[in-house]
C-alpha cells in the first residue's frame, strides 16, 4: 500500500441510489464505512427521470423501506406529485409513483449521509481495487484514488452506476463523459478486468429538458396527483401537500416523418452505439421503428422541481442529432415554441456480467468484493437502491461472520430481481416488472412491511419503537380478520336496501360479513353501513383486512405453490461440486452450473440451459451422495 489516507470496514464506490443505501445500511449496522463520489454534488443524482416508483418499482421502494432503507422516507420528504398506478386493476399490480423535486431529493439524501454515524463521505475517483492472493483466492484489501491516496478496507461495494468508461452520444458526436455532464470513471474498468471480471457494454439514454416558459399547456392534457396521498415509507404519517401537475401530449405523423427521414443519422442504427439498450424503455426512434402501425406515442411533460423551470419529456428518450431533436420536439402539441435547455443523449458504459455474483451480491472469485446497481446490468433508481441495501447488509454480515441475507422469490421483489440477474444474467439493462414475479399476489406493495419488517428488525435496521408499532398493526389486522369471519349479518330492510344500492344480490338468511366482502361489487369500507360493531381502524389496517379476506382463495393457492417452491430451494448445493463429474448432465448444463455455482436445486432449475431432465439427474446424484 502507498500513502494510507484511512482505514475502514467497508468502502462504497459511488454515491448514486445503490451507493447511498449500501453506505447507510453498512454504517447503521455498526461498520466504519466510507463512500466515494466523483463529485459530492452528484450524491443521489437523478440524471434521468425526476420520479421514484412506478409499476413494480414502487414495490421495490416499499420493500427497501420495510427493511430499514432510506429511499421511501426521502421521497416522502421531497415529492411534488403522488399517484397510485394501475388502480383500476387488482391490488397485486397497484404501484405507487411520485414525481420528486430533483434537487431537494439530492440535498436531503446527501444531508442524511453527512449526519450518519460511522459514515465518512469523500470526493474522489477510485481507479484501482487493491487485492492480495490468500490461500489461492483473491481477497480485497483496499482502494486507490486518482490522487494516489489509498484506503484500507475489509469489504468493497462497487456501485458505479453508468460512470465506468462512460461515453456520451448525440447524433454523430460522441465524447468521454458521465451522466449529467459529470466526469466518467475511465480507469476502474481496467482494474476490474485485472481481477478476472467479465465486463459487458450497455447503453441507456435520457430525453431533452425544456424551459417551462416556452410551453403552451392549454394544448395538453393535465395530469393531477391523487387526492389521497399514499406515502412510500411505512413510518410516514398522513401527508397534506399542494401537488404540482404533469401534462400529457402526443407524437404525430409529422414527428414520425422527421424521425424516419433522419434514421440514417441515428447512432442507434448507424453502428456508433455498440452498447445494448433497455428493451422496456426504448428511445423514440426505436419506438417508431418497432411499432410501425402506431400513429402516436404518449409524451409526459414533467416538472424537475419547484424552484426550476426545467421540464422533462418522459417517453422522448433519443440519441438523434441536436437539430433533429429540436425539429421533432416542435411538432408536439404545446411544444411548438419549445426552448431546449439540455439536449437528449445516449450514454454507453461498462457493467459486469452479473452471473459472476453470488446471491449475496458478492463476487464468486474475489473475497469481499460486492456489486450493486446499474453496474450489475440493471436499469432504474429503484432497482439500484434495492441491490444497494442488500449489498450493504451483506457487507456487514460478512465482517461480523454471519450468514448473508438472501431474500428468495417468494419473499420479495428484491428477491426476484437479484435471483434473475444472478441466475439468468441479463443481456440488456434489466427492468423490474410485476410480470417477473410468479407470486405477485403475495408480494404486493401494501404488505411489504408484513413480509420484511421482521427481517429488518432481526438484522438491526428497524428500531425497537418502529417494531412495536408494526406488531400492534399486525395484531389489529389479525383480530379484525377474525371478527369479519365471525360476524353474522341478518336479513333486514336496511341490509337489503344497502345491497340493492350496490348492485348486489339481496339476502334471505343470515350471511357472514366475510362472504359479503368477497362479492366483487362490495368492499370493506362500504360495508361499514351495515356492520354495526365495527372498530375504528387506520386505512392501512382496513386495506389489509379487505385484501386478505376478498382474495383469500387465491392467496391460499399461491401459498401452496410457495410450499412446493421452498422444497427445491431447501435442497442446498455444495459450492465445490464439480458438475463435469456428474454423469448424465448435458454439456451446456455442466458449463452453466460450473459457472453460476447455484446455491440450491431451485436456483439451478432457473438457469437458462439447464433442463428439467438435468435437474432429475442432479436430484439422483444428491440422493446417491446422501446415502454415501
Domain boundaries of the chain, sorted by first residue: 4-206+349-448, 209-348, 476-555, 571-627
Q: How far apart are the first and last CA of the chain?
A: 48
Backbone angles phi, psi at 445, to 5 degrees: -70, -30
Grade residue 451 by pLDDT with cuts at 50, 70 and 90.
very high
Rg (CA), the chain: 26
DSSP states along 20-42: HHHHHHHHHTT--EEEEESSGGG
Q: Per residue in 140-175, pLDDT tens?
A: 999 999 999 999 999 999 999 999 999 999 998 999
Sort strands 137-145 and 150-158 into parallel, antiparallel or unpaired.
antiparallel
Backbone angles phi, psi at 495, to 5 degrees: -65, -50
Grade residue 1 by pLDDT with cuts at 50, 70 and 90.
low
Distance CA 170, CA 53 (A): 28
Q: Which of 208, 220, 210, 215 is nearest to 310 (CA)?
A: 210
Write out the three cell numbers for 307: 424552484
Asked: is 4-206+349-448 a CATH 3.50.50.60 domain? The reply is yes
CATH architecture of residue range(s) 571-627: Orthogonal Bundle (1.10)
Q: Quick one: 80 exposed, middle or buried, by C-beta within 10 A (0-12, 13-18, 19+)?
A: buried
DSSP state of 423: I
Write out the three cell numbers for 76: 416522502
Distance CA 435, CA 414 (A): 14
Q: What is the mean pLDDT of residues 610-617?
A: 92
Grade residue 94 by pLDDT with cuts at 50, 70 and 90.
confident
Q: Which helix (H) or strand (E) holds 63?
A: helix 57-67
Q: Per residue in 38-48, pLDDT tens?
A: 999 999 999 98
Grade residue 275 by pLDDT with cuts at 50, 70 and 90.
low
Distance CA 170, CA 158 (A): 28
For the CA atoms of 11, 13, 15, 21, what is the dihedral angle to 10 degrees? -50
pLDDT at 446 over 60: yes
pLDDT at 355 over 80: yes
Q: Per residue in 15-42, pLDDT tens?
A: 999 999 999 999 999 999 999 999 999 9
Backbone angles phi, psi at 338, to 5 degrees: -55, 135
DSSP state of 230: P
Grade residue 54 by pLDDT with cuts at 50, 70 and 90.
very high
Q: Per residue in 493-546, pLDDT tens?
A: 999 999 999 999 999 999 999 999 999 999 999 999 999 889 999 999 999 999
CATH architecture of residue range(s) 209-348: Beta Barrel (2.40)
Q: Quick one: 540 exposed, middle or buried, by C-beta within 10 A (0-12, 13-18, 19+)?
A: middle
- Min mean pLDDT across 75-84, 117-126, 269-278, 436-445 is at 269-278
**476-555: which CATH number, 1.10.150.530, 1.10.10.1800, 3.40.50.720, 2.60.120.280?**
1.10.10.1800
CB 201 within 8 A of CB 275: yes
Sign of CA dihedral 332, 333, 338, 342: negative
Structure confidence at residue 278 (pLDDT): 65
Write the CA distances from 468 to 221, 238, 454, 463, integer angstroms.
Answer: 45, 19, 11, 9
Structure confidence at residue 123 (pLDDT): 98
Amino acid at each position: 500500500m502507498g500513502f494510507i489516507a484511512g482505514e475502514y470496514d467497508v468502502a462504497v464506490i459511488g454515491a448514486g441510489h445503490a451507493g447511498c443505501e449500501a453506505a447507510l445500511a453498512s454504517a447503521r449496522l455498526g461498520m466504519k464505512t466510507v463512500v466515494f463520489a466523483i463529485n459530492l454534488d452528484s450524491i443521489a443524482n437523478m440524471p434521468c427521470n425526476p420520479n421514484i416508483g412506478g409499476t413494480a418499482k414502487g414495490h421495490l421502494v416499499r420493500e427497501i423501506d420495510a427493511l430499514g432503507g432510506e429511499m421511501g422516507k426521502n421521497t416522502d420528504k421531497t415529492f411534488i406529485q403522488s399517484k397510485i398506478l394501475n388502480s383500476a386493476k387488482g391490488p397485486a399490480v397497484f404501484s405507487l409513483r411520485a414525481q420528486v423535486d430533483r434537487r431537494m431529493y439530492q440535498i436531503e439524501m446527501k444531508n442524511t449521509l453527512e449526519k450518519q454515524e460511522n459514515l465518512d463521505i469523500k470526493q474522489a475517483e477510485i481507479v484501482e481495487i487493491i487485492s492480495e492472493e490468500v490461500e489461492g483466492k483473491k481477497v480485497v484489501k483496499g482502494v486507490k484514488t486518482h490522487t494516489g491516496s489509498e484506503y484500507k478496507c475489509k469489504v468493497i461495494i462497487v456501485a458505479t452506476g453508468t460512470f465506468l468508461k462512460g461515453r456520451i452520444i448525440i447524433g454523430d458526436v460522441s465524447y468521454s463523459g458521465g451522466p449529467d455532464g459529470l466526469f466518467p470513471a475511465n480507469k476502474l474498468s481496467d482494474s476490474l478486468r485485472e481481477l478476472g471480471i467479465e465486463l459487458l457494454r450497455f447503453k441507456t439514454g435520457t430525453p431533452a429538458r425544456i424551459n417551462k416558459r416556452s410551453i403552451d399547456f392549454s394544448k395538453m392534457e393535465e395530469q393531477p396527483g391523487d387526492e389521497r396521498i399514499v406515502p412510500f415509507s411505512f413510518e410516514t404519517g398522513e401527508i397534506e401537500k399542494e401537488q404540482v401537475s404533469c401534462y400529457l401530449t402526443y407524437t404525430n405523423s409529422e414527428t414520425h416523418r422527421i424521425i424516419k427521414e433522419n434514421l440514417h443519422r441515428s447512432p442507434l442504427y448507424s453502428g456508433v452505439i455498440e452498447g445494448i439498450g433497455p428493451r422496456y424503455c426504448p428511445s423514440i426512434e426505436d419506438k417508431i421503428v418497432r411499432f410501425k402501425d402506431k400513429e402516436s406515442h404518449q409524451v409526459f411533460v414533467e416538472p424537475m422541481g419547484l424552484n426550476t423551470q426545467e421540464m422533462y419529456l418522459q417517453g422522448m428518450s433519443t440519441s438523434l442529432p441536436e437539430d433533429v431533436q429540436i425539429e421533432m420536439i416542435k411538432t408536439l402539441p404545446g411544444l411548438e415554441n419549445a426552448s431546449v435547455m439540455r439536449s437528449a443523449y445516449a450514454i454507453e458504459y461498462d457493467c459486469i456480467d452479473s452471473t459472476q455474483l453470488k446471491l449475496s451480491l458478492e463476487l464468486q472469485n474475489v473475497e469481499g468484493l460486492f456489486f450493486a446497481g446499474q453496474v450489475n446490468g440493471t436499469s432504474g433508481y429503484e432497482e439500484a437502491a434495492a441491490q444497494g441495501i442488500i449489498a450493504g447488509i451483506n457487507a456487514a454480515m460478512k465482517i461480523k461472520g454471519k450468514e448473508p441475507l438472501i431474500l428468495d422469490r417468494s419473499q420479495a421483489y428484491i428477491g426476484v430481481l437479484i435471483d434473475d440477474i444472478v441466475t439468468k444474467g441479463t443481456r440488456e439493462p434489466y427492468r423490474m416488472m410485476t410480470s417477473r414475479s410468479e407470486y405477485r399476489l403475495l408480494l404486493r406493495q401494501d404488505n411489504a412491511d408484513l413480509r420484511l419488517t421482521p427481517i429488518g428488525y432481526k438484522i438491526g435496521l428497524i428500531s425497537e419503537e418502529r417494531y412495536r408499532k408494526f406488531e400492534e398493526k399486525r395484531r389489529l389486522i389479525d383480530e379484525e380478520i377474525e371478527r369479519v369471519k365471525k360476524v353474522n349479518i341478518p336479513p333486514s330492510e336496511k341490509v337489503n336496501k344497502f345491497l340493492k344500492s350496490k348492485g348486489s344480490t339481496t339476502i334471505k338468511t343470515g350471511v357472514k360479513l366475510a362472504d359479503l366482502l368477497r362479492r366483487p361489487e362490495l368492499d370493506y369500507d362500504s360495508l361499514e353501513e351495515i356492520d354495526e360493531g365495527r372498530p375504528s381502524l387506520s386505512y392501512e389496517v382496513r386495506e389489509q383486512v379487505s385484501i386478505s379476506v376478498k382474495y383469500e382463495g387465491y392467496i391460499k393457492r399461491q401459498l401452496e405453490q410457495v410450499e412446493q417452491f421452498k422444497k427445491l430451494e431447501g435442497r442446498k448445493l455444495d459450492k465445490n461440486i464439480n458438475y463435469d463429474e456428474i454423469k448424465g448432465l448435458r454439456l451446456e448444463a455442466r458449463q452453466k452450473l460450473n459457472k453460476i455455482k447455484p446455491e440450491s436445486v431451485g436456483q439451478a432449475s432457473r438457469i437458462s440451459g439447464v433442463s428439467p431432465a438435468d435437474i432429475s439427474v442432479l436430484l439422483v446424484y444428491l440422493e446417491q451422495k446422501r446415502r454415501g
